[in-house]
Amino acid sequence: DTGVSQNPRHKITKRGQNVTFRCDPISEHNRLYWYRQTLGQGPEFLTYFQNEAQLEKSRLLSDRFSAERPKGSFSTLEIQRTEQGDSAMYLCASRVAGTGGTEAFFGQGTRLTVV
Amino acid sequence: GNSVTQMEGPVTLSEEAFLTINCTYTATGYPSLFWYVQYPGEGLQLLLKATKADDKGSNKGFEATYRKETTSFHLEKGSVQVSDSAVYFCALSDRNDYKLSFGAGTTVTVRA
C-alpha cells in the first residue's frame, strides 16, 4: 500500500507521560501536515513541513509539542507531559507542493487517550 | 483568517432521498474548496473539489459548485444510499501553503 501510514493507530497513556507518533507520507510528496481532530469537530491544523523544513506552527501547538521530519521523509510528533486535553485523533496528510488543486492524502490517524 | 461553516447535523434520511449539506466560507484570496468524507472506522478521503469560481466538482453522484458571489460550496446528491452514511467535511485550502481549514463536519445516516 502506498498511502499515508500512521503508527500507532491507538495509544493510551497516563497523564504526564511522553508520547511519540510517526507518519510515513506518500513517497514523492514533499509537503507533510499534522492535524488534530477532537470529537465532533473538524480537523485543526497543527504544523507542516516542506521536505525537512518546518514552515509553520499553529498557536495550538504548545511548547509541549514538537514535530520533526529529519530527512524529508517520515515525520514524528512528540507530546511531552501529556494532559487529558491532549486526547484526540492526530492526523497526518501529505501532498505535492506547487499544485493548488491537488488533494492532500490523509492517513488513518493515531487516536490518543490520556487517562 | 480562513474559516468554514457547515450545516450542523446529524442528518437522517431514507434511501433514495435528496441530500444537501450547506457550506459557506470566509477566506482571503481565492481558495480551493473541497468536500472530504469519513466513513465509519476509516480515514478522511477526498470526495470532490473545485479550484475556481463556478467550477463544479462531482464524484459518486455527489456535486458541489464553487459560488464566489455567495462564498458557498453546498454538497448535493439526488438519491442517497445506505452506503453514503458517513461524516462529511467541507474544507478550503489556501493557495500559498495549501493547509486545510475544515468545517465541523455533518454526520449523515441513511436508513434502508
pLDDT classification of B9: cutoffs 50, 70, 90: confident
A101 touches chain B (CB under 8 A): yes
pLDDT, residue B8, reads 85
What are phi and psi for residue B56, nearest 5 degrees? Answer: -115, 125
Q: How far is CA B56 from the centre of its chain?
A: 12
pLDDT, residue B89, reads 97
pLDDT classification of A101: cutoffs 50, 70, 90: low
**Subunit contact B100:A95, Cβ cutoff 8 A:** no
B49 touches chain A (CB under 8 A): yes
The alpha-carbon gap from B106 to the nearest alpha carbon of chain A, in Å, equals: 9
Residue range B85-90: mean pLDDT, rounded: 97
B112 touches chain A (CB under 8 A): no
More confident residue, A22 or B2: A22
**Subunit contact A100:B34, Cβ cutoff 8 A:** no
What DSSP state is assigned to residue B82?
A: G
pLDDT classification of A1: cutoffs 50, 70, 90: low
Is the predicted pLDDT of residue A98 greater than 70, yes or no? no
Is the predicted pLDDT of residue B112 greater than 80, yes or no? yes
How does B29-54 read in b/e, with b if 16+ C-beta sit within 10 Å? eebbbbbbbbeeeebbebbbbbbeee
pLDDT classification of B72: cutoffs 50, 70, 90: very high
- Report CA torsion sign: A50, A52, A60, A112: positive
What DSSP state is assigned to residue A3?
A: S
pLDDT, residue A72, reads 87
What are phi and psi for residue B83, nearest 5 degrees? Answer: -70, -10
- Between CA B74 and CA B77, with CA B76 as vertex, the angle to 5 degrees is 170
pLDDT, residue A99, reads 60
> Mutation test of the interface with chain B: which of A59, A92, A106, choosing the one with the most B Cβ atoms within 10 A?
A106
Among the listed residues A14, A16, A20, A17, the one whose alpha carbon sits nearest the alpha carbon of residue A110: A20
pLDDT digits (tens, 9 = 90+) for B13-46: 999 999 999 999 999 888 999 999 999 888 899 9
pLDDT digits (tens, 9 = 90+) for A41-93: 999 999 999 999 999 999 988 999 999 999 889 999 999 999 999 999 999 99
pLDDT digits (tens, 9 = 90+) for A6-31: 999 999 999 999 999 999 999 989 99
B2 touches chain A (CB under 8 A): no
